[in-house]
């Protein structure tokens, strides 16, 4: 497969996947995740690869989330893969490191905290935007954050849509370590070298164990699917998306009423 949205390279037992859309702060679309699926599947099957590193191109962002400006009617926006790239990261039989430099926002933040390790630079910024921009995120990807940083901080991050520095991320357990930008590559390599010196099968068994602690959550249908399956087609969703793109206040008259359960 010829990649356009990512870069994929393998060397020294390390598979590197780099989101390569710096012109939009590495925002992802369906085509991006399709390509990530292919690369992740290859890394999983290649026994010579001991660790996977996911990063973003350019100095500004790891991943700024879903590309809100992308044409939603295009095949590039929707994607074609039936596999979910975050599921592949969790099921990957080897550790995955998020190398965060710059913005890790929205689905970019989810990507970072789904990885086994998150190594960030001091110029990184983490946060969620869902309820502000009309992205109906819910279900496992949201709930899993509570197992990473606790219920109170997870609710704060998702429901208040604030932003956090790399150091704040490390302090709350969202990142494993935070270093100056010029030391980030060396810090990631330090993690990789430790991993490469450890038993591959034991690391895999440990990862399976950690995943099994939250396996029940994955089987619960998302509240979005159960209660608001057509949210993305509503006036509220479109208004919030456009307000975000146009950098203007939202029109609260477009807000939907709360769900009756």
pLDDT value of position 55: 98
Spans of all domains in the chain: 6-212
| pLDDT category of residue 113 using cuts at 50, 70 and 90 | very high
> What confidence tens digit (pLDDT) does each residue in 26-67 have?
999 999 999 999 999 999 999 999 999 999 999 899 999 988
What's the mean per-residue pLDDT of the chain? Answer: 93
- In CATH, which of 3.30.70.120, 3.40.50.970, 3.40.640.10, 3.90.226.10 is domain 6-212? 3.90.226.10
pLDDT value of position 219: 85
Which segments of the chain does DSSP mark as H helices, in order? Answer: 30-45, 75-78, 85-91, 107-114, 130-133, 140-149, 151-160, 166-172, 184-197, 200-212, 215-218, 223-227, 235-246
pLDDT value of position 163: 97
pLDDT value of position 16: 98
- CB of 19 closer than 8 Å to CB of 57: yes
- Report if pTM > 0.85: yes
- Give the least confident one: 9-18, 77-86, 171-180, 198-207: 77-86
Asked whether the predicted pLDDT for residue 71 surpasses 80, the reply is no
């Amino acid at each position: 497969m010829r990649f356009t949205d990512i870069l994929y390279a393998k060397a020294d037992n390390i598979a590197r996947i780099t989101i390569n859309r710096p012109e939009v702060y590495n925002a992802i679309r369906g085509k991006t995740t399709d390509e990530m699926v292919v690369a992740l599947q290859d890394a999983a099957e290649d026994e010579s690869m001991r660790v996977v590193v996911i990063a973003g191109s350019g100095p500004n962002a790891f991943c700024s989330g879903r590309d809100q400006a992308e044409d939603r009617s295009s095949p590039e926006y929707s994607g074609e893969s039936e596999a979910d790239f975050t599921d592949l990261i969790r099921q990957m039989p080897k550790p995955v490191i998020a190398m965060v430099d710059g913005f890790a926002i929205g689905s970019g933040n989810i990507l970072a905290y789904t990885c086994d390790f998150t190594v960030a630079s001091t110029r990184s910024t983490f946060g969620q935007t869902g309820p502000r921009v009309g992205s109906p995120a819910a279900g496992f990807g949201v709930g899993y954050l509570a197992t990473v940083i606790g219920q109170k901080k997870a609710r704060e991050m998702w429901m208040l849509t604030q932003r956090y520095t790399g150091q704040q991320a490390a302090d709350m357990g969202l990142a494993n370590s935070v270093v100056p930008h010029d030391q980030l590559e060396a810090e990631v390599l330090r993690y990789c070298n430790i991993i490469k010196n450890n038993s591959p099968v034991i690391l895999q068994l440990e990862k399976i164990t950690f995943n099994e602690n939250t396996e029940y959550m994955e089987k619960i249908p998302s509240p979005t699917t159960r209660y608001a399956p057509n949210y993305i087609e509503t006036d509220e969703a479109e208004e919030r998306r456009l307000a975000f793109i146009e950098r203007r206040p939202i029109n609260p008259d477009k807000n939907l009423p709360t769900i009756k359960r």
